[in-house]
Chains A and B, each alone.
Chain A
């Protein structure tokens, strides 16, 4: 598949349209599954292992990032059987701070780059941003696509940008943020997913968490179908990361059900599915504590972050 403008346009617009009603009904139906007892315990531990613990605030300080790094390693200090999270996700400026704590731990270090969250910057700036983060110790890069270019139909521009950033990443994994809340339609989500995968993304991610509409079940379903079809056609497996708005264990388990029913076991792994979240982790820990102690846990007993 070459990146020429005409080829891309005809391919992306040749993708079958998404049945909006169907995909929403399917996601809603899968959201009603009841997962209890031992299955719930397993789901909670898996969800914890899939969390990209995220702090993307202007007010982030090295102290806060250090504290969060420690939490990524040992989410529940009271329970040594609690697994670590998948990764910590920070701004590039905070990467060296987090890298110090996480080095050699097995917890990945992700950094947003490419003028996050708007992506409205010249390519050279985005590439410099990416190289900086990788040099600082990040082994995963979360880039944002230029929605302005995508929405105006300049698919080749977006494609070339992703290819360039992928090159700048070197060995680091590249997650491509589609910002589905700004794409408008499921058809656009499907096109953007394919565009990102064709350009070499290792992961496709729903949102920055900085716009009102973030990850939803139907959008994630469309993206999961895209990665499934992409593997069927090309043999390459791409991961999926919903981010933003996932706050409760119940939500997280709905996503796990969605993966299981859409793409199967292959994606039920932290290497292929992540939750971009901050407050989700505490709720998972509270539910985990509820299962182990037999009584309801309270937020007073978990860290504020």
Chain B
């Protein structure tokens, strides 16, 4: 017992020294090299630069004095903890955080199918901003459709209240993983809007039937009631922005559809998948494929077991036309790509939900 504090203290001191060394050795040139490596990633870069601005010596001394037994040497608050890791390590060209003294655990961004995170059936990966990302094949799309189809009846059969609760839980979990999304370059404002959008759609789950359904006047002794029902399995080509991704997934699933999403920004989409996997969303309700939409989307568009296709993220008009043509094969519902750059911050209205609904009308005798 009396021995235990000393190794921990030693570890702290070591970590502080490491932080100091890394900070002084890297200096401004490290940041500069990063900037040159990936000029496009403005948000991510900004977060990293912010970390570099914290003076390493001060950080190191505060860690050794106040962190106590924390073996990693990180200070108590989350904010300065990020700063420490940024100062002590460098997310190099490989994308992995390298701390001296141990090998970094590199992350492969995998697919999300049926509630699991498999690699691509084809075994292919590709590099996105230095990260290894699974490159989905047509067979992954097929497997995802099978998973989505399997999950659909139960998801649609869940009460609207329950689906709303699950969507609200997603909002909570996105909020909880804020730092991860910020580190991936999602702007803070966009992240807030995305969380709000989940909550907004969660609220619609038990209201859409009242607004979109109707009791119809008919010339006969019948009640005539129209109620919206989910279409089934929806293939989605998602836009690149995080808010855009949320804005195509949420309206589809809130009404009881299940989706196969072809994601444009893989790291953010797979991190969202990790949120979904821990949010009580049943496996298969949302399936996320990373890779080239131009390769996989035609297979979704022509798939006889996909009931609707959302082309919001298709930028290439020729591809959109080809997909619409293929989708006509089994009369899928198609959400056509927006005419110009969509503004996802605007009020989406009901159309994203109603576009993926079918109306069931019931005639019921009044009984006289």
Which of chain B's residues have a CB closer than 8 A to the CB of A294? Answer: 302
| Chain B residue at minimal CB-CB distance from A294 | B302
List residues 136-164 of chain B with CB under 8 A from any CB of chain A.
142, 145, 149
Q: Which of A296, A299, A300 meets B142, CB within 8 Å? A: A296
Expressed in whole angstroms, the minimum distance between the Cβ of A152 and any Cβ of chain B is 43
Which of chain A's residues have a CB closer than 8 A to the CB of B304? Answer: 295-298, 300-301
Let me know if B303 is at the binding interface, CB within 8 A.
yes
With an 8 Å Cβ cutoff, the count of chain B residues facing the other chain is 12
CB of B305 within 8 A of CB of A295, answer no
Expressed in whole angstroms, the minimum distance between the Cβ of A37 and any Cβ of chain B is 15
Contact with B along A272-305 (1 / 0, CB 8 A): 0000000000000000000000111111110000
Contact with A along B278-312 (1 / 0, CB 8 A): 00000000000000000000010011111000000
| Chain A residue at minimal CB-CB distance from B142 | A296
Expressed in whole angstroms, the minimum distance between the Cβ of B58 and any Cβ of chain A is 59
Let me know if B38 is at the binding interface, CB within 8 A.
no
In Å, the complex CA distance between A294 and B302 comes to 9
Which of chain A's residues have a CB closer than 8 A to the CB of B330? Answer: 298
Q: Which of A296, A298, A299, A301 meets B299, CB within 8 Å? A: A296
| Chain A residue at minimal CB-CB distance from B299 | A296
Expressed in whole angstroms, the minimum distance between the Cβ of A290 and any Cβ of chain B is 9
In Å, the complex CA distance between A1 and B158 comes to 63
| Chain A residue at minimal CB-CB distance from B326 | A295
Which of chain B's residues have a CB closer than 8 A to the CB of A295? Answer: 299, 302-304, 326, 329
In Å, the complex CA distance between A297 and B329 comes to 11
CB of B145 within 8 A of CB of A296, answer yes
In Å, the complex CA distance between A4 and B117 comes to 59
Which of chain A's residues have a CB closer than 8 A to the CB of B303? Answer: 295-296, 298
In Å, the complex CA distance between A300 and B145 comes to 13
In Å, the complex CA distance between A39 and B203 comes to 53
Count chain A CB atoms within 10 A of each CB in B149, B305, B329 and give the residue with the most. Answer: B305
CB of B326 within 8 A of CB of A298, answer no
List residues 29-85 of chain A with CB under 8 A from any CB of chain B.
none
> Does more than half of chain A's interface fall in helix, strand or loop, or is it mixed?
loop
Which of chain B's residues have a CB closer than 8 A to the CB of A301? Answer: 304
In Å, the complex CA distance between A294 and B145 comes to 17
In Å, the complex CA distance between A34 and B329 comes to 30
Name the interface size band of chain A: under 10
In Å, the complex CA distance between A36 and B368 comes to 64
Which of chain A's residues have a CB closer than 8 A to the CB of B326? Answer: 295
Which of chain A's residues have a CB closer than 8 A to the CB of B329? Answer: 295
Which of chain A's residues have a CB closer than 8 A to the CB of B145? Answer: 296
Which of chain A's residues have a CB closer than 8 A to the CB of B302? Answer: 294-296
| Chain A residue at minimal CB-CB distance from B301 | A295
List residues 311-368 of chain B with CB under 8 A from any CB of chain A.
326, 329-330
Expressed in whole angstroms, the minimum distance between the Cβ of A296 and any Cβ of chain B is 4
| Chain A residue at minimal CB-CB distance from B141 | A296
Which of chain A's residues have a CB closer than 8 A to the CB of B299? Answer: 295-296
Which of chain B's residues have a CB closer than 8 A to the CB of A300? Answer: 304-305
In Å, the complex CA distance between A88 and B226 comes to 43
In Å, the complex CA distance between A300 and B152 comes to 14
In Å, the complex CA distance between A187 and B152 comes to 44
In Å, the complex CA distance between A298 and B306 comes to 8
Which of chain B's residues have a CB closer than 8 A to the CB of A297? Answer: 304-305
In Å, the complex CA distance between A300 and B302 comes to 14
Expressed in whole angstroms, the minimum distance between the Cβ of B47 and any Cβ of chain A is 41
Contact with B along A13-35 (1 / 0, CB 8 A): 00000000000000000000000
Which of chain B's residues have a CB closer than 8 A to the CB of A298? Answer: 303-306, 330
In Å, the complex CA distance between A299 and B305 comes to 7
Which of chain A's residues have a CB closer than 8 A to the CB of B305? Answer: 296-300
In Å, the complex CA distance between A137 and B312 comes to 60
Which of chain A's residues have a CB closer than 8 A to the CB of B142? Answer: 296
Expressed in whole angstroms, the minimum distance between the Cβ of A249 and any Cβ of chain B is 12
Expressed in whole angstroms, the minimum distance between the Cβ of A146 and any Cβ of chain B is 39
In Å, the complex CA distance between A296 and B329 comes to 11
Which of chain B's residues have a CB closer than 8 A to the CB of A299? Answer: 149, 305
In Å, the complex CA distance between A216 and B170 comes to 41
Contact with A along B91-102 (1 / 0, CB 8 A): 000000000000
Could you tell me which B residues sit within 8 Å of A by CB distance? Answer: 142, 145, 149, 299, 302-306, 326, 329-330
The 4 closest A-B pairs by CB, nearest first: A298-B305, A298-B304, A295-B302, A296-B303
**Can you add 13 more A-B contacts, CB < 8 Å, to A298-B303, A298-B330?**
A295-B299, A295-B304, A295-B329, A296-B145, A296-B299, A296-B303, A296-B304, A296-B305, A297-B304, A298-B305, A298-B306, A300-B305, A301-B304
Sampled A-B contacts (10; CB under 8 Å): A294-B302, A295-B299, A296-B302, A296-B303, A297-B305, A298-B303, A298-B330, A299-B149, A299-B305, A301-B304
